[in-house]
Amino acid sequence: MSDARREPWPDPSPEPQYATMAQQAEAASFGMWVFLATEVLFFGGMLLAYAWARGSFPAGFAEAGRHTKIFIGSVNTVVLLTSSFTMAWAVNAAEHGRRRPTAWLLAATALLALLFLALKGVEYHQEWTEHLVPGLNFREEGPNAHAVELFYFLYFMLTGIHGIHVTIGIGLIAVTMVRAWRGAFSERYYTPVEVTGLYWHFVDIVWIFLYPLIYLVGRSGP
Amino acid sequence: MTTATVTGKTDEPVVGTRNYLTEGGVTLRSWLLTRDHKRIAILYTLSITLFFFVGGAAATLIRLNLVTPPGIFTPDVYNRLFTLHGIVMVWFFLIPSIPNTMGNFLIPLMIGAKDLAFPRLNLLSWYLYMAAGLLALFAIVIGGVDTGWTFYTPFSSMYSNGYVVLALAAVFTAGFSSILTGLNFIVTTHRMRAPGMTWYRLPVFVWSNYATSIIMVLATPVLAITLALVAVERLLQVGIFDPALGGDPLLFQHLFWFYSHPAVYIMILPGFGVISEVVPCFARKPLFGYKFVVWSSITISVIGFFVWAHHMFVAGISLYAGLVFSLLSYVIAVPSAIKVFNWTATLHKGWISFDAPMLYALGFIGLFTIGGLTGLFLANLAFDVHVTDTYFVVAHFHYIMVGGMVSAYFAGLHYWWPKVTGRLYHEWWARIAALLIFFGFNLTFFPQFILGYLGMQRRYFSYAPEFQLWNIFSSAGASVLAVGYVLPFFYLGWSLFRGQRAGANPWAATGLEWQTSSPPPTHNFDRTPTVTRPPYQYRPEPEPQDV
Amino acid sequence: MGSMQILPATASSHAADMDWLFAALVGTSGFILLLVFGLMITFCVRYRANSKVERGNRLGRTWRLEAAWTAATFAAFLALYFWGADLYIRIHRPPPDATDVYVVGKQWMWKIEHAGGQREIDSLHVPVGRPVRLVLTSQDVIHDFAIPAFRIRQDAVPGRYETLWFTPTEVGEYPLYCAEFCGTYHARMGGSVVVMEPSDFQRWLDGQGAGPSLAQEGEALFRQYGCSGCHGAASTVHAPRLEGLFGRPVPLEGGGTVIADDRYIRDSILLPRSEIAAGYPPVMPSFAGQIGEDELLKLVAYIKSLADRTAGNTEAGPPAGGKQAGPPAGSAEKDAR
Ligand code: HEA
Ligand code: HEA
Ligand code: CUA
Ligand SMILES: [Cu+2]
C-alpha cells in the first residue's frame, strides 16, 4: 500500500448514481452475472442445433469429428485452462492490493489468450486447405458428405463466436491491466478485475463444453 | 407511500430552472451524450414515435391495398409492406415502447434512485437501437424484405430475393439493445432501491418491468443466435435449417418461437404495469390483490418460456408435443385472468373518475380481454387447425398488441405527461382521441375475426371477392384509427409549449415519482427518500380537496 | 361485393365438429366477456366519483376471492382444452381404409397425384363419403394445404412427409389455399377441391387417361436407379427385401424400432445413414439430390404396394431384424469412408 499515495488516480469515489462504493461493486458484479445468463442462452441456441443435428446424423458427425485437429484442440484447452488460472491469480493479487503482480498476471492471461487465437488460426488454415469450409470451399465425397458439412457449419459458428468472445476478452483484460499498472485498484476497490475475471472464466467454461463436442465425437470407442 | 403527505402540492409553482430538461445544458451534444435516464427516455420516445409512424404508414398502405380484391400493389410490394410493418412494429416500436420510454424514466424515480445502475450502458442501448433502426430503414429503402416478420426458413435463407441479411442484422442489433436494457433494469431493481423500499413496496409497474427484463435477458440471445445462423446460412447457401442438406426447417421455428412467444409477453407485461398504476389512481383505491398481481407477472414470464410450439400446431410437430403445448398455453392464461379480475375488483366501491388515462386503461382491459380470449381459441388444438395463418390470428394479436398494449402506452403517456414535461394537455381532446381509437380499433379488427373463420388467409395481396365486405369495414376502421392516433400528436405538441403548468402531483397520486417536482431535477430527489408504506395508499375519500 | 357471410361452407366430417367447438369457445368467452364487462360497467357507473352511494364494508379476504376465480378459470380452461385435444387427435388419426393422394407443393402451385397415376395441378378431385388421406411434401419452401370448407390444413414441409385426412360430405367445389407464406405469388397459390359422387369420380378418373399407376412408375424407377440391384431377389448384396416392409416395425441398429411409414422409407432413400436396419451393413448410398420429390413419391408408392406381398425368397424375409449377425463394427467404419 505504500505506493497508494503515489497513485496518479485518487482513491475512487462512487459514480453519482450510487450511494457507496460497496453498492457500486455489488451492482457491477451482479450485472456481470446477469450478462453471463444471457450468454448461456446465446450459446445454448447453437448447442441445441448441434444436439439436434448430431442426434439425426450420428454417423456423419462421427466421421466429421475424426477430421478435427485434436492435437491443436487439446493444446488449446490446456492454454485456456492455464489462462483461467492466471486470471484467478490476478484477481487474488488485486484483492490483496498487489499492483504489479496483478498487472503481470493479467498480461500473462492476455498472452495465453493470444496464443489460443493463433493456434485456432493455424487450425482454421488447415481446415481451409483440406476443403472443409462449408459454402466456400467444401469438398467432400461419400455418403455422409451432407452431415459432415453440417458439422463443419456448426463448428465454424461455434468456434467463431467463441473466438469473438476471446477477442473481446483480450481487450477487456488489456484495459484492466493498464489500469492495474497505473494503480487504479486497491484492496477496497478491485471490482473491474473481478468482473473481467468472471467473464474470462465463462469464456473458458464454454470452451470446456465445446472441446468434447468438437474433438471427441467419433473418437471414442474402437 | 412515503412519510411525507403527497397531496396539496398541486398548486405550488414548482417548475424552476432546476429540472433535467435545462440542467446540464440544452445543446444537441448535451442530449446525445447524456447519461441521465430521463433524457435517454426522451430520446427513445422521439425515435419510437418515428418508427410507429413508419409502421403505421405501412399499415395504412396494407389496408388501402385490401379495399378491393385484386389489390393495387404488385405482390412483391405488398409482401414487403407487411414484412416492414411487422418488423418495425414489433422490434422498433412495441418491444421498446413502454420499457425504454416510461420504464427508463420512471423506474429510478419509483424506487427512489438517482439513476439506473449503468447509465452509460443505457445510452449505448439507445445507440444500438438507433443503429438497428437505421439499418432496417436502409434495408427497406434499397429494396425491402419479403419474408414476413417471422423469417421462416428455407424461404428466408435460400429463396427470398430481398435484403434479408440486412434485416436480420438490424433485428440482431435491436436484440442487444433490448438485452442491455433488461440487464440494467434487473440490476437497478435489485441494487438501487431507496431505504425502506422493500420488494413488496415496489409499485406494480416496477415489478412488471422486472418480469419483462427477465424475458429480455433470457430469450433475446436465442433469437440473436438463431438469426445469426440464418444470416450465415443465407450468405454461404448451406446450413442447418436447409432441408437440402438434411437440415431441419422446423428447428428454426422452434428456436424462433422460443424467443418470440416470450417476446409477446415482453410486449404486454409493461402494459399490465401501467394499468396497475392508472386504475388505482383514478378509482382512488389500493390495487386489489397486490401480491397476486405481482406474482402473476413473474409466473407469466417463467411459464412463457414453455409454450412456444403453439405456433406450430400444423407445422408437423408430433401429436404429443401438440397436446403438451396446448395445455401449457391454457395454463399461462390463468395469471392473465387473475390480473383482469383484480383490476375489475379494484373498481369496486371506488371514487372513479374518467380522465383520459383512465379511459385508455379501461379500453385496455376490454380489448386485452377479447384478444386474450381469442388467444385461447388459438391455443385450442383443433380450432387452431382451422384458423392458423388466417386473419383470425391477425385479429387476435392486434387486439392484444394494438387494442391492449398501444392503449396502455397511451394511458401511460397521458398519465405521466405532466411529470415528464411539467405541462398539462387538453383533457377534452384527449378524451375524444381515446374514444376514436377505441371505436376505430374495433371497426378495424373485429371483422378480421370473421374473415379468419371464413377462411381468408393472411399475407395475401389479393383475395376472393366474397371477403370484400368485411375488408371494407376493416379499412374504414383503420382510417378512423389513424385519425385517433394522429390527434395526440397535435394536442400533446400544443401542450409542450402552451399547456398549463402542472404541479408536482396533478393526479394526487401516491408513488415516489410524484414526490419530486415536475419535471424532476437531474438527480431526481433532493434528499434520498425513505419509504415506510406499501404502494397505492389512496384515501377512501374523494380527493384532492384535503390538504 | 360479398354478402354478410359469417360461416364458411360445411363439407367434411370434421366441419360440423369444428363449428360446435367454435360455438363452445364463443359461448364461454361470451359469458366471460359479459361477466367482466358487466362488472366493469356497473362499477364505473355506480361508483363514479360524484355518486353518493354507500362505500363502506369493502371486500376483505382477498385470497379467498383470488383462489375462487383462479380455480374457476382453470376448470373452464381444462374443459375447453380436452374438447379441442380430442378433436385434434381425431383429425390426426386417419382411418385405415383411406385412399392415399400425394401432394407436392412448389412455388406457386400444387401438384397432385392419385394412386392410379392420374395427375392434376391446383385442383383435387375426391369422391364424396370416402376417407382420403393426403401425403404432403414440398419441393422448395414451406407451403400449407388449407381447405376451409373442410376445416383442416397442414404444412407441406420440404424434406418431410406430413399427412392430412378428411371425409368429404357434400358434393361441390370448395376453395383451396396455400396458407404459409411462400413468396411472391403466395396469394395465388391455390385452386379448388371438387367433391363428386363416387360414380362421377370414377368416370373422372377414367377420363384422365389411364397411364401407369404411381406404383408401376415407381417400379420402373426402382430398376432405373439400381435399387433392385441390391434389394432384388437375385441380388448378392446383403440388403433387406422390401416386400411386406410397409407398416411393420423395423428394429434398428443400436437399439430401438421404428414403424416403416412414408417418412421412414423416404429417409431410407435420402439419408440411409440416419436409421440403419439392424443386422445390415450401412452400404446403401444416399440418393439425395438425385431423385426429385415426384419420383420419391412414386418409389414410396411402389414400396407400399409391396406391403401385402411376402418375400418369395426366404433368404432375407421381411426385415424383422437380420438373421445373420451383422458384420463387425470395423468394417462398417471402412464402408462409410
Ligand atoms: C402482446 C402480444 C401477445 C399476447 C399477450 C398474446 C397472448 C396469448 N396468445 Fe398470442 N399471438 C401474438 C401476440 C400475443 N399473444 C402474435 C403476434 C401472434 C402471431 C404471430 C405470427 O404468427 O405472426 C400470436 C399467435 C398466437 C397463437 C398461434 C396462432 C397460430 O399461428 O396458429 C396462439 C396459439 O395458441 C396464441 C395464444 C395466445 C394465448 C393463449 C395468450 C394468452 O397469454 C392470453 C391470456 C389472456 C386471457 C385469456 C384474457 C383474460 C382472461 C380472462 C378474463 C379469464 C377468464 C376466461 C375464461 C374462464 C375462459 N397466440
Ligand atoms: C406491434 C404492433 C403492431 C401494430 C401497432 C399494428 C398496427 C396495425 N396493423 Fe398490424 N401487424 C403486426 C403488428 C402490429 N400492427 C404484425 C406483427 C403483423 C404480421 C406481419 C407479418 O405477417 O409478417 C401485422 C400484420 C397486419 C395485417 C395483415 C397483413 C397480411 O397478413 O397480409 C394488417 C391488415 O390489416 C395489419 C393492419 C394494421 C393496422 C390497420 C394497424 C393500425 O393500428 C395502425 C394505426 C396507426 C397509424 C395509422 C399510424 C398513423 C400514421 C399515419 C396516419 C401516417 C400515414 C402516412 C402515410 C399513409 C404516408 N397488420
Ligand atoms: Cu405456397 Cu404460400
Ligand atoms: Cu405464442
Q: What is the mean pLDDT of each run of 10 residues along chain C (337 residues)?
A: 70 90 93 93 88 75 80 87 92 88 90 85 92 92 94 91 92 94 92 93 82 80 84 80 82 79 83 77 78 83 77 38 34 31
Helix (H) or strand (E) holding C251: strand C249-251
Handedness of CA B313, B318, B322, B325 (dihedral sign): negative
What single DSSP character describes residue B245?
G
Residues of B with Cβ-Cβ distance to A128 under 8 angstroms:
none
Helices of type H across C256-292:
262-270
Domain spans of chain C, in order of start? 8-42+62-211, 214-336
Question: Exposed, middle or buried: residue B545 (CB in 10 Å: 0-12, 13-18, 19+)?
Answer: exposed
Q: Which residues contact A220 (CB under 8 A, 6 or more apart)?
A: none
**Gap from CA of B372 to ligand 1 centroid (Å):** 5
Residue of chain A whose alpha carbon sits nearest to that of B36: A17
Place of cell 383462489: C67
Evaluate the omega torsion of the peptide bond into residue C108 and state whether it is cis, within 30 degrees of 0: yes
Pairwise CA distance, residues B501 & C332, whole Å: 84
From B191, which residue of chain A is nearest by alpha-carbon distance? A27
Q: What are phi and psi of B531, to 5 degrees?
A: -105, 135
Residue in the block written with cell 449377425:
C325
Q: What percent of chain A has pLDDT over 70?
A: 92
pTM score? 0.88
* B chain contacts of residue C80, beta-carbon cutoff 8 Å: 330, 376, 380
Q: Is there a cis peptide before residue B154, judged by omega within 30 degrees of 0? A: yes
- Asked if A136 reaches chain B (Cβ–Cβ under 8 Å), the answer is yes
Phi, psi of C66 (to 5 degrees): -60, -50
| Per-run averaged pLDDT (10 residues), chain B, 547 residues | 38 57 82 91 95 95 94 92 95 95 94 92 96 94 91 90 92 95 95 91 95 95 94 88 85 94 94 95 90 93 93 91 93 92 90 93 95 94 93 96 95 94 92 94 95 93 92 95 92 90 87 88 85 82 44
pLDDT at B462: 92
Cβ contact (<8 Å) for B239 and A23? no
Chain A contact set for C272 (CB, 8 A): 143
Q: Which of B187, B247, B258 sits opposite A31 (nearest CB)?
A: B187
Whether A24 is covered by a domain: the verdict is no
Does ligand 2 have an atom closer than 6 angstroms to the CB of B56? yes
Q: Which residues in chain C are contacts of B155 at CB distance < 8 A? A: 141-142, 181-183
| Residue B255 CB neighbours (<10 A) | 26
Are the Cβ atoms of B192 and A39 closer than 8 angstroms? Answer: no
Give a yes or no: residue A43 inside a domain.
yes
CATH fold label, B28-282+290-515: Cytochrome C Oxidase; Chain A (1.20.210)
Q: What is the CA radius of gyration of chain A?
A: 21
The Cα–Cα gap between C23 and B450 comes to 13
Which residue range forms the structural domain that includes residue A98? 32-47+70-128+152-215
- Cα C198 to averaged position of ligand 1 atoms, centre (Å): 42
Rounded CA separation B82/B90 (Å): 12
Query: Considering the domain boundaries, does residue A98 fall inside one?
Result: yes
Cell numbers for A68: 478435427
Give the mean model confidence (pLDDT) for residues A116-137. 89
CB B312 within 8 A of CB B380: no
Residue with cell 404411381: C214
What residues 31-50 of chain A have any CB closer than 8 A to a CB of chain B? 31, 34-35, 37-39, 41-46, 48-49
| CATH number assigned to the domain covering C214-336 | 1.10.760.10
Other CB atoms within a 10 A radius of the CB of residue B141 amount to 9
Does the pLDDT of residue A143 top 90, yes or no? no
Q: Does C230 touch chain A (CB under 8 A)?
A: no
Q: In terms of DSSP bridges, do strands C132-138 and C99-106 run parallel, antiparallel, or are they unpaired?
A: parallel
Ligand 1 pocket check for B340: Cβ under 6 Å: yes
* CA-wise closest residue to B89 among B54, B131, B141: B54
Of residues A217 and A11, the one with the higher pLDDT is: A217
Rg (CA), chain C: 28
Q: How far apart are the first and last CA of chain C?
A: 65
* Identity at C140, one-letter amino acid code: D
H-only helix segments in B162-248: 164-191, 204-236
- A43 backbone dihedrals φ, ψ, rounded to 5°: -70, -30
Q: Which CATH architecture has domain C8-42+62-211?
A: Sandwich (2.60)
Q: What is the mean pLDDT of residues A162-174?
A: 95
The answer to whether position A110 is within a domain reads yes
Sole residue written with cell 409502421: B55
Q: Write out the three cell numbers for B206.
A: 416496477
* Structure-block grid coordinates of residue B459: 399475407
Residue of C230, C252, C271, C280 to mutate when probing chain A, most A C-beta within 10 A: C271
CB contact under 8 A, C181 and B147: yes
H or E, element range at B515: none
User: Which neighbouring-strand residues pair with C174?
Assistant: C193
Residue ranges per structural domain of chain B: 28-282+290-515
As for how many domains chain A has, the answer is 1
pLDDT at residue number A175: 94
- Do B311 and B261 contact (CB within 8 A), yes or no? yes
CA-derived radius of gyration, chain B = 23
Question: Ligand 1 pocket, B401 CB below 6 A?
Answer: yes
Nearest ligand to residue B308 Cα: 4
Looking at ligand 1, which residue's alpha carbon is closest to its atom 32?
B388
CA distance A134 to A138: 5
Say what the pLDDT of residue B14 is: 45
| Cell reading at A222 | 474402437
CA proximity to B503, closest of B488, B491, B490, B520: B520
Q: Are B392 and B374 in contact (CB under 8 A)?
A: yes
Nearest to C26 by CA among C7, C2, C5: C7
B61 and B144 in contact (C-beta within 8 Å)? Answer: no
Judge: A59–C336 Cβ closer than 8 Å, yes or no.
Answer: yes
Q: List helix spans (H) across C163-292.
A: 198-207, 214-224, 227-231, 262-270
- Contact B154/C144, CB-based, under 8 Å? no
DSSP string, B68-124: STT-SS-HHHHHHHHHHHHHIIIIIIIHHHHIIIIIHHHHHHHHT-SS-S-HHHHHH
The dihedral through the CA atoms of B183, B185, B188, B191 has a sign that is: negative
Contact of B80 with B57, CB cutoff 8 Å: no
Is the ipTM, as predicted for this complex, more than 0.90?
A: no
Tell me which of A97 and B211 has the higher pLDDT.
B211
C-alpha–C-alpha distance, residues B251 and B205, integer Å: 36
Cβ <8 Å between A146 and C274: no
Taking CB atoms and an 8 Å cutoff, what residues of chain A touch B233? 153
- Residue pair C335/C261 in contact (Cβ under 8 Å)? The answer is no
The one-letter amino acid at B203: P
Q: Is the per-residue pLDDT at A159 higher than 90?
A: yes
Distance CA B205, CA B200 (A): 12
Cα B475 to chain centroid, rounded: 23
Q: Do B118 and B211 contact (CB within 8 A), yes or no?
A: no
pLDDT for B242: 85
Between the CA of B410 and the centroid of ligand 4 the distance, in Å, is: 24
pLDDT tens-digit readout, C110-165 = 999 888 878 888 999 999 999 999 999 998 899 999 999 999 999 999 988 899 99
- C-alpha cell recorded at residue B351: 371514487
Q: Is the CB of B293 under 6 A from ligand 1?
A: no
Q: Are B69 and B464 in contact (CB under 8 A)?
A: yes
Which CATH number fits the domain that encloses residue A207?
1.20.120.80
Q: Find the Cα–Cα–Cα–Cα dihedral B9, B15, B16, B22, rounded to 10°.
A: 140
Write out the H or E segment, with its range, that includes residue C103.
strand C99-106
Return the percentage of chain A with pLDDT > 90, whole number.
53
Same fold, C8-42+62-211 and C214-336: no
Chains in contact with chain A (at least 3 beta-carbon pairs closer than 8 A)? B, C
